[in-house]
Amino acid sequence: MLTKAANSYDYKSTAAEILQDLRRDRDRQIISRRFGFGIPKRQTLEKIGGDFDITRERVRQIEKAAITKMQTNQSPAVERANELLVEIVREQGGVAPIADIAAALAVPDNDLPYIVFLTLLVPGLNLIDEDDHLRVSAGLSPIYQRSQSVALISEIIKAIKEYGKPITLAKLRSKLPSELDSLTLEQLMRISKQLAYFDGKWGLISWPEVNPKSIRDKTYLVLSRHGRPLHFSDIALHVRGLGTTKRDVTIQAVHNELIKDQRFILIGRGIYALAEWGYTPGTVAEIISSVLREEAPLHKDEIVRRVLMKRQVKTTTIILNLQEKDQFVRTAKATYKLKEE
């Protein structure tokens, strides 16, 4: 368990103490601005260079030299930070997003730059910089350096792609060449920007099953999760519960998506199912016709039974269609076949 020090750790004072190792105030200001301490976002080399009347390349050199000095001079403040941060990351599986480390220290989001700064300096951790594919993270040194973490995440993504659909953590572990405990595996996936999690399963960020964005994606997900037909008003209610949206999802908006998308089949009065469950589009008469094409003649009761497997309608509706539609011919008492064309 984490020590009590985590609850009272003064990360700002620690960062300020470490910065005092830099002799020049200019160097301290450059580091503070480059990391974004106390400002909305970190400043560019060009912006800082203009303020100090030096080139952006000179700012980069000063930044690099200052970081090297602070990393080399392992002050008591760095040692304390190392002990605490390493403990946090170890308890989180050996690798963790910076946001998770900050959460363990009760650090607000606008102060994340301080945790990034400390992570970069402590010898027990490797800072994994953010890019198009990874969230800013930290891994235990030397086990989870950036290259090792990237290689493991690539293995994970490859396994998920080969599986071809959202997968549970337990099943994914069995498909990986590397042996990873569940916590470490989950943390590696959370670091990746290419993966998403939803309803107990992981998948590619582009898969609507784990990253539903549109009303249409969410409508499909609701039906898929329930595994049975639902009325469009009930579907809309569940869609509203799938995460936050910029505006309320109306029943009409959901109904419109159900009507337009061929994956959704109307099987009763306002009741929809997924086509992948074996339902086909069409009127009751068309469903009767498809039943009789498979086998005929059939008794009325058998026709009703088979139609009710495909449609949620009243029995009387099916019987009326049999009796009133020209395409159905009675061959014996309560027995029907298709009219020959």
Question: Residue 67 and residue 27: Cα distance in Å, rounded?
Answer: 10
Name the nearest CA neighbour of 143 among 121, 158, 128.
128
Residue type, 88: I
- Beta strand pairing call for 95-97 and 264-266: unpaired
The pLDDT value recorded for residue 2 is 57
Q: Which tokens hold the place of 42?
A: 């970190």
Please list the rounded mean pLDDT of every run of 10 residues in the chain (341 residues): 67 95 94 94 94 95 95 90 96 95 94 96 95 96 93 96 95 91 95 91 91 89 91 92 68 94 93 91 92 93 93 92 91 91 57
pLDDT recorded at residue 278: 86
| First-to-final CA distance of the chain | 79
CA distances from 198 to 180, 242, 291 (A): 21, 10, 39
CA atoms within 13 A on the CB side of 90: 12
The per-residue pLDDT for 74 is: 80
**Per-residue pLDDT at 286:** 92
CA-to-CA dists, residue 312 to 9, 273, 281, 291, 317, angstroms: 62, 10, 13, 15, 10
- Give the closest residue to 139 by CA, choosing from 148, 196, 131, 36: 148
pLDDT at 47: 95
Residues 6+ apart with CB under 8 A from 319: 300, 304
Q: Are 75 and 17 in contact (CB under 8 A)?
A: yes
Q: Is the bond leading into 142 cis (omega within 30 degrees of zero)?
A: yes
Cα 238 from Cα 178, distance rounded (Å): 38
Residue 131: predicted pLDDT: 94
Provide the pLDDT for residue 276: 92
Residue that the structure tokens 């469950």 belong to: 277
Q: Tell me, what amino acid is at 318? A: I
Residues near 22 by Cβ (< 8 Å), separated by ≥ 6?
A: 28, 31, 66, 69, 70
- Annotate 85-152 with DSSP letters as a single string: HHHHHHHTTSEEEHHHHHHHTT--GGGHHHHHHHHHH-TTEEEE---SSB-SEEEETTTT-HHHHHHH
- Structure-block tokens of residue 29: 């200001």
